[in-house]
Copies of this chain bind each other. A is one copy, B any other.
Amino acid sequence: MKKVGSGRLRLSNLQIVAIGYFCVCMIGTILLLLPISAVKGNTTLLQAIFTAVSACCVTGLVLVDTSTHWTLFGQLVIMILIQIGGLGFMTIGMRFMLLVRRRISLREREVMVESINAYQLGGIIRLTQEIVTGTLIVEGIGAALLAIRFIPEFGLTKGLFYSVFHAVSAFCNAGFDLMGIKEPFCSLVPYANDFLINFTVMALIIIGGIGFFIWEDLYKHGLQWKRYYLHTKVVLATTGILIFGGALLFFIFERSATGAEMPMKERMVSALFQSVTCRTAGFNTIDTGSMSEGSKLLSILLMFIGGSPGSTAGGIKTTTCAAFVLYMISGVRREGSATVFGRSLMPDALGRAISIFTINLGVVLIGALILCALQPFSGIDAMFEVFSAMGTVGLSTGITRQLTAASAGVITLVMFLGRVGSVSLASALLEKKAKPPVTLPTEKIIIG
C-alpha cells in the first residue's frame, strides 16, 4: 500500500503554480479566440495568447486596444482573468507567509500565536474567504468612487461596467483600461487632471500592491506603529520612500518634458501618479513615450523593484530592495548583521534576496539583449519594455505594437516568468531546505 503513495506523481509547489497558471492562460486564450470575443470576429493566435498571459499575469501590456478590439464578452474574459490572476497570487503569497510564520523565533511566536491558530483552525478556506472578502470590499468602494465620474460620462450600464473593470484592474495592479475608445492606447491620459479618478486609482493600486499581510496587521493594530511586525514596518517605510522619492524625481525630470505646459498642481499629481503606477500597476496619465530619458531610467528602476510580497504586484519586491540596502549599510559599518527598527534581519534573508535579485536581473538583461538583437529599438525602450514585462507593470514607450512575432513571444515568456516564475521561485525558496547542507571544505575568494 505504501508503494502506491510513493508511486504517485509528486509535484513541487513550483510546478503546481506554474502548471496552474499555464492552464488558466490556455483557457483564456481559447475564450479570446472565439469569434464572439472580438468586435471584428478575428483575433490572431499571437494576439490571444499575448492578451491572455498579460491579463492572467496582471501585466497589462497589449498588442491590440482593449476597448476597441474586444467585445463586452472579451472584456469580461479579460476582467475575470485579471481577477483570477490577482487573487491567485495573493492567496499563494499568503500561504507562503504562513509557512514563514511557522518558523519564526520563539519570542515572535508567542506574540502572534493567536493569529496563526486562527488560520490553522479555519484552514486555507477561511483564509481565502478573508482575502476574497477584503478584495471585493475594496474593489466595490473603488468602483463606487469611479462611478461618480464614469456614469455621467458613459451612461448607467456602460459607466457601471467601466467602473468595475477599472477598479478590478487597478486593485489587481493589472493596468488594463478601456479608455481606448477616446484615443487608442491612451490609458488614463484623458483623466490627467481629474483628481477623483487619480486618487481613487492610486489608492486601489497601493492597497492591492502592499499585500494582505499588511492589511491584517493594520486592521489588528490600527495606528500603533510599535506593535506592527517588522515586515509591516519595512514594507510601509520602503513603500513610502519609493512613492514620495520617486514622485519628487519625476517632478524634476518632467519639468521641461511632459510637465512643461501643465499647471503646478497637475504636475505634482501626475508625478505622484507616475511614481505609484510604475510599481507595478501600469496605468499612465502622461504619455510614456514622450517622457524624458531620466524619467524612463527612473521608471525602469522602480519597475524592477515593484510592489510588496503577497500582493498583486510584481518585481523583486520592496523587502528585497530594503534587504539589499540594509545589508550594504551593515557591511559598510562593519556590523555583523543587518538591523532596522531595533531588530536584526534573519541571516537567511540575505541568500533569498540575492537569489531573487540575480534571477530577475538575469532574465531582464537577457530579454533586453535578445530584443535588441531581434529589432532595432533604442536600448532604453527595449529595456523599458522587458523590465515592464518582468515586473508585470505594463507600461510601454509604445514599442509593444511594433513587436514582431518572435519579439512578442519573448515578451510573453518574460511576462509569464515575471509573474509565475517569481512567485513559484519565492515559494520554493521559502520551503524548508530539502537538501542537507553541503559539507565541502570552505575556501575564500576575494570579493571586490
Q: Which residues of A contact B (CB under 8 A)?
A: 96-97, 100, 103-105, 107-108, 213, 229-231, 234-235, 249, 252-253, 292-294, 296-298, 301, 309-310, 316-317, 319-320, 322-325, 327-328, 330-337, 339, 342-346, 349-359, 362, 365, 368-369, 372-373, 376-380, 382-383, 422, 425-426, 428-431, 433-438, 440-448
Return chain B residues, CB-CB under 8 Å to A333.
Answer: 435
Is there an interface contact between A446 and B379, defined as CB atoms closer than 8 Å? Answer: no
Can you identify 26 A-B contacts, CB atoms within 8 angstroms?
Answer: A103-B444, A104-B443, A105-B441, A105-B444, A230-B445, A294-B369, A297-B365, A310-B446, A319-B446, A319-B447, A323-B447, A327-B358, A328-B355, A331-B355, A332-B425, A332-B428, A334-B428, A334-B429, A336-B435, A344-B441, A349-B444, A352-B448, A354-B354, A378-B380, A380-B380, A425-B448
CB distance from A194 to the nearest CB of B (A): 29
Q: Take A349-B447, A352-B331, A447-B317 as given contacts and tell me if A437 and B105 are in contact as well, using a CB distance cutoff of 8 Å.
A: no
Nearest-CB distance from A333 to chain B (Å)? 7
Q: Please indicate the chain B residues that have their CB under 8 angstroms from the CB of A436 in the complex.
A: 336
Q: Which residues of B contact A351 (CB under 8 A)?
A: 327, 330-331, 350
Kindly list chain B residues whose C-beta atoms are within 8 Å of the C-beta of A354.
324, 327-328, 331, 350, 353-354
| B429, A448: Cβ atoms closer than 8 Å | yes
CB-CB < 8 A to A294: which residues of B?
Answer: 369, 372-373, 379
In the complex, residue of chain B having the shortest beta-carbon distance to the beta carbon of A108: B443
Residues in chain B near residue A316, CB distance under 8 A:
448
Q: Please, which residues of chain B bring their CB within 8 A of the CB of A328?
A: 354-355, 358-359, 362
State the Cβ distance, A265 to closest chain B Cβ, in Å: 22
Chain B residues with CB under 8 Å of A213's CB are 446
In the bound complex, residues from chain B placing their C-beta under 8 Å from that of A422 are 448
Distance to closest chain B CB from A313 (angstroms): 12
